[in-house]
Amino acid sequence: MPGVSVKDIESHKFVAAYAAFLKHSNELPPQDIDWFYVRAAAVARHVYMRKTVGVGRLRKVHGSTKNRGSRPSHHVDASGSVDRKVMQALEKIGVLEQDEDKGGRRITQSGQRDLDRIAQTTLEAEEEEDDE
């Protein structure tokens, strides 16, 4: 099925499939913690969907609301350490590269090819489940 990209797959299904792919590649530290792979898959998908993404943007995306007691809740950005380390790890294996013009990081051609391949296998598996 040629021409399948990450945009054709539902986000939660793609993130789960890519997290499994990263876990089995054994190149991203730490080795035995699943949440790191899930975050890496979510970051890779986020960068794929946009042109250039920096750590500050990911902090905003992965942030949540802070319970301030009786006062109204407000959005709080997430820690940048995890997102920075995830982006560095994805850069190390060749999925992301630094964008000197705009700053931040963008997806590489090999990273885009890997993500599209994972999206295609996820879509094929989903179609097989629907046929049964």
70 lies in a domain? Answer: no
Q: Which residue has the higher pLDDT, 48 or 1?
A: 48
123 lies in a domain? Answer: yes
Which tens digits make up the pLDDT trace of 79-129? Answer: 899 999 999 999 999 999 999 888 899 999 999 999 999 999 999 988 888
112 lies in a domain? Answer: yes
88 lies in a domain? Answer: yes
1 lies in a domain? Answer: no
| Res. 130 pLDDT band, cuts 50 70 90 | confident
Provide the CATH number for the domain around residue 92.
1.10.10.10
pLDDT of residue 33: 58
124 lies in a domain? Answer: yes
CB of 8 closer than 8 Å to CB of 117 = no
Q: How many domains does the chain have?
A: 1
Q: How does the average pLDDT of the chain come out, rounded? A: 87
Helix (H) or strand (E) holding 68: none
The three-class DSSP label of residue 24 is: helix
Host domain of residue 112: 6-63+75-131
| Res. 27 pLDDT band, cuts 50 70 90 | low
21 lies in a domain? Answer: yes
CB of 88 closer than 8 Å to CB of 60 = no
